[in-house]
Structure 1
Amino acid sequence: MKLRQLSLRIRIFISMILLVLIASILIAAVTLYQYKEQTDEYNRGRLDRKEESVKAAINFWLNSSQNSYPLVTEKLAAIFKDKIYEISDIEKLEINIYNLEGEIIKSSHSGFVKSDAPDVLSDTILKNIANNYEHHYINEKTLKGNDFQSSYSYITDNKFKAIGILNLQYVQDNTMQDKDLEEFLVRMGFVYLLMFVIAIGLAYFISSYITRNIKAITDKMKQTSLTKRNEKIILDYASAEIFTLVNAYNNMVNELEESAVKLAKGEREQAWREMAKQVAHEIKNPLTPMRLTVQSFQRKFDATDPKINDKINEYSKTLIQQIDTMSSIASAFSDFAKMPTQKCEELNVVEVVKYSIDIFSEDYISYFPQKEFIIAELDKTQLIRIMTNLVKNATHALDEIENKKIEVSVKEDNGNVIIKVADNGKGISNEDKERVFEPKFTTKSSGMGLGLPMIKNIVETYNGTITFTTQLNKGTVFKIVLPKKITI
């Protein structure tokens, strides 16, 4: 997962842990570097002190009354014949004396193991001694895991004339320092581990605290909807940036509520306008023939006509038919506008559905119940209304179809009643699928398009569902799922 895809809380947590970890590594590195510098400084100082002590002992011996040899290069071996061992034992280091050409003439080293000091000094060492202002040169090297420091300086007579070269072989013994460093690193490791654990806890707490208000705002935003009342965010303690965000959200909620009210009002007004247009249109349809009938009766009325009674009956029949049409229109709109009044009772769904189908005389309607009795708490009138509307729509879908077929099935499954009405009609086009349950939508030449919306209204009142599947020129299947027991 990319870093920018992580949540803000995780990024803050990781950043704080990395900060503590990097700081710990830097402190450890600085500590080791400081230890190395102090150790090197200690060894250099120790070598300087030993060198001063050795040179003081050598100068004292050269000018003492016990030395009977002249202070010349050729006599250095005899001068320090035994004294070099005494000085070496006192200072605990190896002492070598060279002539001015760099050839060794006396050494305190003894034993079978060969000394690391060279028998002949290189030109580089000789030049460094000669060119140095203090005629002093230190060479550092590592042999067999041990650090060596070799100090080279002139041995002078009482007139400060060089008569030889003094070499001190100093082995750096850092055992105590290394042990102290190891103990220090162990203690510091435990401290770092404790700090790291504490840092993890603090990072988790701080990151959660920082992002808590943001998470609260995010949760509220996720719940924001135009179709319900949205709650405002109230925070007691938060940063200025969070307060700015909260105020922006609360202002948005206010504007959203105002927009929702305006939208709902506009939708209601639009719905009523559309409904008024539809009612006016449907009522005008029967009014026209009624007007023509009355006008024709007025022109052709003749009281002396022997068939006047038959004509009056015919005119009256025509008016009554149109009045009945207007009444059915009013009833349809009334049924659609009002919520269905439920009168729940235990009834045999199989029997009620069969009764609804028997109303139709078409012989291509088949009924397939799963069993003889499926008891559910439903309103019988509304169930009959659902079935008659679905079967009627199915028969209209079979116009111009040769081998007509409608199959109605009823079964129960997991506490629900499932009713299916299938036909092999022309199907529903993709353009009409989304509008099937819209009021006033119909594909028939007659009708008001209120049947399926009314069914959907009834089914959803029972906490049920109505769905359909369709294929062009193959047919459509409507499926209704109703709970056997409902809570009203």
Structure 2
Amino acid sequence: MLKGFKMSMLSLRIRIFLSMIVLILIASILMASISIIQFKNEARDYHQERLERKETAIKEHINYVLSTTTYPLTPRNLGVIFKDKIHELAQIHSLEINIYSLNGKLLKSSKAKFSVDSVSPPIPKYILKLVQSSIEKRYVDIKNINGVKNRSSYSQIKDEKFKPLGILNIPYVEDDGFYEKELQNFLIRLGQVYAFMLVIAFALAYFLASYITQSLKTISDRLSETSLNQKNQKIVLEANSKEINLLINAYNDMVDELEKSAVKLAQSEREEAWREMAKQVAHEIKNPLTPMRLTVQSFQRKFDANDPELKQKLKDYSDTLIQQIDTMSAVASAFSNFASMPAQQNETLNVVEVVELALDIFNEDYLVFESDEKEIITKMDRTQLIRIITNLVKNAIQAIPEQQAEKKVLVSVRRHPSEVIIMVRDNGSGIENQFQDKIFEPKFTTKNSGMGLGLGIIKNIIENYKGTITFETQTGQGTTFMVALPLTSA
């Protein structure tokens, strides 16, 4: 929409500039409009006064003819009296003259005989009434014929005793050619003057807009550079505006307060960082302990000295314990080096195999693993991948209520064009709406949904590999976590 481009989206400099230009344009339009109206009024007054002057002169001439005629002054004799004189009058005054009887019938006209109808139309009755009812016994009828204004005056012809003898009609066509030419010349000159003024206005508006907004531009640039994490410079500027000086002083005071706040914030962040580090390290150390405990308990429960696969099972149990010990070692090393927890030790591995191996520590018979392929190769840290799987599976198991009859946790691995998708789905109680925005926060935990600090940590691990973790949940039906990790070349 055109309104999408609002004035509020323009800079102050452009708005000042446009405002001044608009004012000049409005002034020029108003001046041209007033000039046109004035010229039209002058033309109207001129034609009105000219018709009155002509009418007065003709009536004086008619009165002279009436005073010198030898015919009796009666309405019947008007045609005879002006039989020859009417053409002389029309020639002297350069106007058409018509003489009507008192009832509106045409008696004599200065028109040539061939242009006068055999039966000339009488004066309309409404005009006769207006002439008779007016104080001056006169009426001017104005009509537009083919776009040209025609005036036609009607007035009574009286004898020396002011007795009405007939009606004088003087048709008058307004010729505005002179005024139209003068108006056109004036508008051309006005346009030239305003074009010159517009050029000057452009330059002046640009200069004034730049001058007014220069100080604001300095403040704006400095504000955009202001940051809590750096030493901010004050504005050393004396503007010509009291309001801008108040703004500069307010900014400088803000810089002082910001510096004090930055010192307090830095100290608080250091303290918070140590507390958070301690919590995360404690959580990461506890994380491997759970699968180690489960592995040992599983070994105790299933140990059989006569089992022909005893050596292989001992090897699997040992590998699992060693992996968890390596994880604890990586956490400790990362903490000591103040690096990310744990540090990445990328290697070429089969995601399907590592995920399946990570699930061996869980004894739940409702835990199901699926994969369309036996081998999906990528390059990443083995211990971090195991940590992702164990955290998600453990949370899925904890999300299913103990009293629930049918339990199911599905772990699937599949290949997407350029990434591997690991999905962990449970049919537990789901995540309540008020907790959905918080489950990846480091400090968030709830026993009902089984989400602890681990989700925040594995999210960081996944994002370090340019991957994503998302979830879908329905209260009372379960939750599905989806991890997408890019497939890097081996």
> TM-score band (shorter)?
0.5 to 0.7
User: Per the alignment, in what secondary structure is the counterpart of residue 393 of structure 2?
Assistant: helix
Any residues of structure 2 matched to 1:126-275 within 5 Å, and which? 138-142=138-142, 145=145, 146-152=150-156, 154=158, 156=160, 168-177=168-177, 180=180, 184=184, 240=241, 255=257, 258-259=260-261, 262-270=264-272, 272=274
CA gap of 1:404–1:232, structure 2 versus 1, over 3 A, is farther
1:82 deviates by 2.8
Q: Are residues 1:412 and 2:415 paired?
A: yes
Equivalent residue for 1:479, pick from 478, 482, 486: 482
- Asked if 2 retains the 8 angstrom alpha-carbon contact of 1:418 and 1:480, the reply is yes
- Asked if 1 retains the 8 angstrom alpha-carbon contact of 2:358 and 2:386, the reply is yes
Equivalent residue for 2:117, pick from 112, 116, 120: 112
For 1:479, the aligned partner's letter is: M
Provide the rounded CA distance (Å) in 1 between the counterparts of 2:475 and 2:124.
110
- Asked if 2 retains the 8 angstrom alpha-carbon contact of 1:96 and 1:166, the reply is no
Any residues of structure 2 matched to 1:96-107 within 5 Å, and which? 107=108
**Could you tell me which residue of structure 2 aligns to residue 50 of structure 1?**
54
Equivalent residue for 1:462, pick from 455, 465, 479: 465
Provide the rounded CA distance (Å) in 1 between the counterparts of 2:483 and 2:83.
122
**Could you tell me which residue of structure 2 aligns to residue 288 of structure 1?**
none
1:204-251 superposed Cα distances (whole Å, 9 cap, x missing partner): x98x9899999999999999998x779999999999567766775676
Provide the rounded CA distance (Å) in 2 between the counterparts of 1:171 and 1:68.
26
1:421 deviates by 2.4
Root-mean-square deviation (CA, aligned residues, Å) is 6.0
CA gap of 1:238–1:125, structure 2 versus 1, over 3 A, is same
1:443 deviates by 5.3
1:469 deviates by 3.7
Which has the larger displacement, 145-154 or 349-358?
A: 145-154
- Asked if 2 retains the 8 angstrom alpha-carbon contact of 1:335 and 1:454, the reply is no
- Asked if 2 retains the 8 angstrom alpha-carbon contact of 1:428 and 1:476, the reply is yes
Equivalent residue for 1:389, pick from 388, 391, 395: 391
1:378 deviates by 0.7
Equivalent residue for 1:37, pick from 37, 41, 48: 41
CA gap of 1:257–1:350, structure 2 versus 1, over 3 A, is farther
- Asked if 1 retains the 8 angstrom alpha-carbon contact of 2:399 and 2:428, the reply is yes
1:140 deviates by 0.0
For 2:42, the aligned partner's letter is: Q
Provide the rounded CA distance (Å) in 1 between the counterparts of 2:82 and 2:330.
139
Equivalent residue for 2:87, pick from 85, 88, 91: 85
Provide the rounded CA distance (Å) in 1 between the counterparts of 2:345 and 2:441.
26
- Asked if 2 retains the 8 angstrom alpha-carbon contact of 1:154 and 1:163, the reply is yes
CA gap of 1:266–1:85, structure 2 versus 1, over 3 A, is same
Provide the rounded CA distance (Å) in 2 between the counterparts of 1:103 and 1:353.
118
1:412-457 superposed Cα distances (whole Å, 9 cap, x missing partner): 3242222122334455555655554454665569x99554443233
1:179 deviates by 9.2
Q: Are residues 1:69 and 2:70 paired?
A: yes
For 1:383, the aligned partner's letter is: L
User: Per the alignment, in what secondary structure is the counterpart of residue 456 of structure 1?
Assistant: helix
Provide the rounded CA distance (Å) in 1 between the counterparts of 2:276 and 2:259.
25
**Could you tell me which residue of structure 1 aligns to residue 375 of structure 2?**
373
**TM-score with structure 1 setting the length:** 0.60
- Asked if 1 retains the 8 angstrom alpha-carbon contact of 2:105 and 2:121, the reply is no
For 2:483, the aligned partner's letter is: I
For 1:484, the aligned partner's letter is: L
- Asked if 2 retains the 8 angstrom alpha-carbon contact of 1:348 and 1:376, the reply is yes
Bigger Rg over Cα: 1
CA gap of 1:32–1:87, structure 2 versus 1, over 3 A, is same
1:92 deviates by 3.9
Provide the rounded CA distance (Å) in 1 between the counterparts of 2:264 and 2:365.
53
CA gap of 1:253–1:404, structure 2 versus 1, over 3 A, is farther
1:330 deviates by 10
User: Per the alignment, in what secondary structure is the counterpart of residue 342 of structure 1?
Assistant: coil
Unaligned 5+ runs, structure 2 = 286-326
Provide the rounded CA distance (Å) in 1 between the counterparts of 2:37 and 2:50.
20
1:85 deviates by 3.3
CA gap of 1:39–1:168, structure 2 versus 1, over 3 A, is farther
Any residues of structure 2 matched to 1:290-369 within 5 Å, and which? 338-339=339-340, 340-369=342-371
1:125 deviates by 4.5
For 1:269, the aligned partner's letter is: E
For 2:117, the aligned partner's letter is: F
1:480 deviates by 1.9
**Could you tell me which residue of structure 1 aligns to residue 426 of structure 2?**
423
1:167 deviates by 5.2
CA gap of 1:144–1:466, structure 2 versus 1, over 3 A, is closer
1:141 deviates by 0.9
- Asked if 2 retains the 8 angstrom alpha-carbon contact of 1:368 and 1:409, the reply is yes
CA gap of 1:405–1:48, structure 2 versus 1, over 3 A, is closer
CA gap of 1:477–1:233, structure 2 versus 1, over 3 A, is farther
Provide the rounded CA distance (Å) in 2 between the counterparts of 1:450 and 1:126.
108
1:104 deviates by 8.7
Aligned residues: 417
Provide the rounded CA distance (Å) in 1 between the counterparts of 2:239 and 2:328.
61
- Asked if 2 retains the 8 angstrom alpha-carbon contact of 1:8 and 1:211, the reply is no
User: Per the alignment, in what secondary structure is the counterpart of residue 172 of structure 1?
Assistant: strand
- Asked if 2 retains the 8 angstrom alpha-carbon contact of 1:468 and 1:476, the reply is yes
**Could you tell me which residue of structure 2 aligns to residue 322 of structure 1?**
none
- Asked if 2 retains the 8 angstrom alpha-carbon contact of 1:117 and 1:169, the reply is no
- Asked if 1 retains the 8 angstrom alpha-carbon contact of 2:73 and 2:159, the reply is no
Provide the rounded CA distance (Å) in 2 between the counterparts of 1:108 and 1:421.
112
Which has the larger displacement, 176-185 or 142-151?
A: 176-185
- Asked if 2 retains the 8 angstrom alpha-carbon contact of 1:217 and 1:233, the reply is no
**TM-score with structure 2 setting the length:** 0.59
- Asked if 2 retains the 8 angstrom alpha-carbon contact of 1:427 and 1:476, the reply is yes
